[in-house]
Amino acid sequence: MVTIGDVASIAKVSRSTASYALSGKRTVSDEVRRRVEAAVRELGYTPNAGARALATAQTRVIGLLAQFLEDEFAPAMLQYMLGVSNTACELGYDILLATEEDGRSALRRMTDSRMVDGIVLLNVAEHDDRLPILRDAPQPGALVGLPANCAGVDVFDLDFEEAGRLMVDHLRRLGHRELILVSQPEHVVERGGAYVWRLQNAAVDAARRSGVVLRPVFAPSRQPEVGRELNALLDAHPSVTGLLINNEAAAAALPTVLHERGVTAPTDLSVIGRYSDEFARTFSLPYSSIESAPDRLGRMAVRELVRRIEGQVGPDEPHVVRFVSPELVDRGSTATPPEV
Amino acid sequence: MVTIGDVASIAKVSRSTASYALSGKRTVSDEVRRRVEAAVRELGYTPNAGARALATAQTRVIGLLAQFLEDEFAPAMLQYMLGVSNTACELGYDILLATEEDGRSALRRMTDSRMVDGIVLLNVAEHDDRLPILRDAPQPGALVGLPANCAGVDVFDLDFEEAGRLMVDHLRRLGHRELILVSQPEHVVERGGAYVWRLQNAAVDAARRSGVVLRPVFAPSRQPEVGRELNALLDAHPSVTGLLINNEAAAAALPTVLHERGVTAPTDLSVIGRYSDEFARTFSLPYSSIESAPDRLGRMAVRELVRRIEGQVGPDEPHVVRFVSPELVDRGSTATPPEV
DNA sequence: CTGAAAGCGCTTACAG
DNA sequence: CTGAAAGCGCTTACAG
């Protein structure tokens, strides 16, 4: 392979001068810089990443820990990954991806061996078992998802409480008095998927305060079970006039379910989901929704992480916990309930 | 950070002996091995990846080039990525992921800087502009997707010709005489998505040989345009009794379209798709389909790549071009046409 | 403005 | 069975 030594000898300078000419960290005469640049072009020189990492203790690689769990909806996860990956690229970083089930060992491998300058954790649980490892690691970490303990890491998440309130208040104002909230499956909660109950509790509170009946249910995250569950729910509660969906699989199944039942939104039933606009387009979902902003969250996490990596944020400066405010994207699926 | 020098001094051996004790590349006395292992545990030693890469010229990292193009269906792409990532993990490799639009520059960056031991290219086009770069790279490459020129790389793909024949023959045998084949959008073909016309040409041939009318059409890959197109097609060709779908977005949209039209498969219309079983479950698709086996293709590509990387296949041994035989997964959406 | 040298943390011939 | 040393390809004080 062609090394900086080759460049140096072609350019008739020392290796250090060649290095400085390329990095710009020391002034170099124009003449010398030109010769070095010409040599680089001639030889097609690219620095060896391993050697550079060894010398600088920087890899310009970010570790991305994703997990595709059986009870979660894979296409939704992809959005977050792309937000992270694209932003990293823009900032000059590459992504080392781990999708294996055992996130702990992947994380340890990446951090202990110094393969990465920082870590992004996706799909963070309330008591995420990867977190203690990340805190002990020498690299900084950024999370998408809110754990119980945010010490030592930067945290980014949708404001799910506000999302729950927003959904309920929107339909209450239109005159709805009985709603169903379809959440993720109960295992997601048991595993520590805090966003499920954060949204649910806030929705329940908002409903209680304003005298609205809210029926929260856990629904499966796979087809066709989730479709059956939606049908059963609508059968069991004929007086319900509004549906809140915090479950991507349920949202994806809903058009078919409503068609089968001959139900039209918003004439017969008002619907609000919680998913990204990209998701809505992919699945052709015609429902108004709380934008979950996966690309924006991924972008924020990487931006802050890179600021830490590059020392623009001091190691002792406090970490951030930042919530994205939910916004209601109106797709016309809510209206005054039919009885009114 | 803790280095092999620390391990060596705790274990009271030289650094080389510590290294050999861990790698097993030289016989080491049991006593010494125990002391080294104890020191490793005590200090929590993990080799520095950059240093090891520099010394061995091996990174144990595989570069994965994916691309999420506007006119392709992202959830389908994800399946391939997971097949690659999971297999790499099993074989002890990590994945460096590039999702940026400019695959050429990502590829060059990874290979020139020796960040990776090998490359997997996804979504390969007929005249893929990443291919010349990959051929010139010192690392081996494996493709998922069939280019015009397979020289210098290992190639894995579904046998799309056979898939096209299978779809047509299956419906012909049931008595169908007029079919529509819904392909990907025409830009995919123009960009060099050879699988589109490989399947289509074979289907057209098979139909012609057996006197079946086959109407091939390009359909959008976004919602809701694809749904509208499907409706228009069914309106325009009322005598069609079978639908062949080589377009994931169209497959995902079809249940809603058929519901709207009051059409039931297979009573009114027979349907065969081409997508993975995982995809069918995610989108709750009730149609028989040709399994596109993304996980299997990703797995095969990584396996062969690792064999090359690790020298189990000599550099002069010929490269492979391997096709996965399509299998029809019967979900009961085909039957004798209504007229018969 | 430039060069010679040390050092990053490994592995692996070379020597005994 | 083990150790001292060279070398992988960079970067960066140190010296001039």
- The answer to whether B223 contacts A47, with C-beta atoms less than 8 Å apart, is no
pLDDT of residue B284: 80
CA B250 to chain centre: 20
For residues B226 and B320, membership in a common domain is answered with: no
Contact B233, B239 (CB under 8 A): no
**Is pLDDT at B314 greater than 90 in this prediction?**
no
3-state secondary structure of A206: helix
Examine residue B279 and state whether it is found in any structural domain, yes or no: yes
Percent of chain B residues topping a pLDDT of 70 = 100
Nucleotide nearest to B20 (CA to C1'): C11
Which residue is associated with the tokens 């977050």?
A80
Most confident of A216-230, B123-137, B186-200: B123-137
DSSP summary character for residue B7: H
Distance, in Å, from the CA atom of B114 to the CA atom of B53, rounded to the nearest integer, reads: 9
Peptide bond into B255 cis (omega under 30): no
In a domain, B332, yes or no: no
Whether the predicted pLDDT of A6 surpasses 60 = yes
* B216 and B269 co-located in one domain: yes
Domain that holds residue B278: 160-291
Q: Residue A324 has what pLDDT?
A: 97
> Looking at residue A275, what DSSP letter applies?
E
Contact A99 B115 (CB under 8 A): no
Nearest C-alpha neighbor of A65 from the set A125, A93, A94, A106: A106
* CATH number, domain with residue B189: 3.40.50.2300
Same domain, B33 and B76: no
Q: Where is average pLDDT lowest: B63-77, B200-214, B296-310?
A: B63-77
Same domain, B44 and B70: no
Report the pLDDT value the prediction gives residue A224, as an integer from 0 to 100. Answer: 80
**Alpha-carbon distance B51 to nearest alpha carbon in chain A (angstroms):** 6
Dist. CA B17–CA B21, nearest whole Å: 6
C-alpha A202 chain-centroid distance:
21
A16/D13 CA-to-C1' distance in Å: 12
Residue A201 lies in a domain: yes
Shortest CA distance from B58: residue in chain A: A50
Which nucleotide shows the minimum CA-to-C1' distance to residue A7? D9
Residue A180 DSSP SS3: strand
On whether the CB atoms of residues B11 and A20 are closer than 8 A, the answer is no
Give B3 CA → D12 C1' in Å. 21
Tell how far CA B134 is from the center of its chain. Answer: 18
Within a domain: A40: yes
Claim to verify: residue A123 and residue A167 sit in the same structural domain: no
Class of residue A239 by CB neighbours under 10 A (exposed 0-12, middle 13-18, buried 19+): exposed
Q: Of A267, A307, A328, whose CA–CA distance to A140 is shortest?
A: A307
- In this prediction, residue B215 carries a pLDDT of 97
Verify if strand D has an atom below 7 Å from the CB of A48: yes
Query: Are B28 and B126 members of one domain?
Result: no
Q: For residue B244, is it within any domain?
A: yes
User: Does residue A23 approach strand D to less than 7 Å at its CB?
Assistant: yes
Amino acid B75: pLDDT: 82
- What is the distance between the alpha carbons of residues A269 and A176, in angstroms, rounded to a whole number? 10
Q: CB of A9 under 7 A from strand D?
A: no
Task: Give every CB contact of residue A184 below 8 A, 6+ residues apart in sequence.
Answer: A71, A72, A193, A196, A218, A219, A221, A246, A247
Protein residue closest via CA to C1' of C13:
B16
What is the CA B246 to C1' D6 distance in angstroms? 59
Comparing B338 with B223, the larger pLDDT belongs to B338
CA distance B108 to B120: 13
Q: Which two tokens stand for residue A23?
A: 């990095």
Q: Which of A55, A71, A98 is the last residue of a domain?
A: A55
Distances (CA, A) of B337 to B204, B245, B257, B258, B271: 20, 17, 19, 16, 11
pLDDT tens readout for residues A139-166:
999 999 999 999 999 999 999 999 999 9
Q: Do the Cβ atoms of A256 and B255 come within 8 Å?
A: yes
Give the number of domains in chain B: 3
* Residues A70 and A139 reside in one and the same domain: yes
User: Any idea which nucleotide's C1' is nearest the CA of B114?
Assistant: D9
- For Cα atoms B180, B182, B185, give the angle at the middle one, nearest 5 degrees: 145
Q: Is the pLDDT of residue B193 over 90?
A: no
B60 pLDDT exceeds 60? yes
Position A340 scores a pLDDT of: 52
What pLDDT, on the 0 to 100 scale, is given for residue A191? 87
Across residues A290-303, what is the average pLDDT? 97
Kindly provide the residue ranges of all beta strands, DSSP E only, lying in A66-131, ordered along the sequence. Answer: 94-98, 118-121
The verdict on B134 and B172 lying in the same domain is no
Distance B113 CA to D16 C1' (A): 34
Q: Do B59 and A48 touch (CB under 8 A)?
A: no
Residues A46, A28 share a domain = yes
pLDDT computed for residue B63 by the predictor: 98
In this structure, the number of other CB atoms found within 10 A of the CB of residue A232 comes to 12
Token couple for A87: 């932003």
Together in a domain, A74 and A114 = yes
Q: Considering the domain boundaries, does residue B98 fall inside one?
A: yes
A212: distance to nearest CA of chain B, Å? 32
Residues contacting residue B21 through CB under 8 Å, at least 6 positions apart: B11, B13, B28, B32, B33, B36, B37
Q: Which nucleotide is nearest to B52 (CA to C1')?
A: C10
Average pLDDT, chain A: 94
Q: Which pLDDT score, from 0 to 100, does residue B296 have?
A: 96
Asked whether residue B190 falls in the same domain as residue B304, the answer is: no
Residue A56 CB lies within 7 Å of the nucleic strand D? yes
d(CA A319, CA A35): 45
Q: ∠ at Cα A309 (A305, A310), nearest 5°? A: 120
Choose the weakest-confidence range: B59-73, B149-163, B297-311.
B59-73
Assess whether pLDDT exceeds 80 at residue A339.
no
- A with B: how many residue pairs have Cβ under 8 Å apart? 152
- Tell me: do A36 and A120 sit in the same domain: no
* Confidence (pLDDT) at B246: 96
* Structural domain contains residue A197: yes
Cβ–Cβ < 8 Å for B119, B273:
no
Q: Which helix (H) or strand (E) segment is B36 a member of?
A: helix B30-43
pLDDT tens per residue, range B208-222? 999 999 999 999 988
Cα angle B95, B101, B106; round to 5: 45
Answer whether residue B121 is part of any domain: yes
**pLDDT-wise least confident of A177-191, B62-76, B100-114:** B62-76
Closest Cβ opposite residue B284 in set A53, A108, A224: A224
- pLDDT tens across B98-112, in order? 999 999 999 999 999
Give the CA-to-C1' distance from A59 to D10 in angstroms.
12
pLDDT value of position A72:
78
B139: left (phi over 0), alpha (psi -120 to 50) or beta: beta
- Please tell me the distance from the alpha carbon of residue B154 to that of residue B321, in angstroms, as a whole number: 6
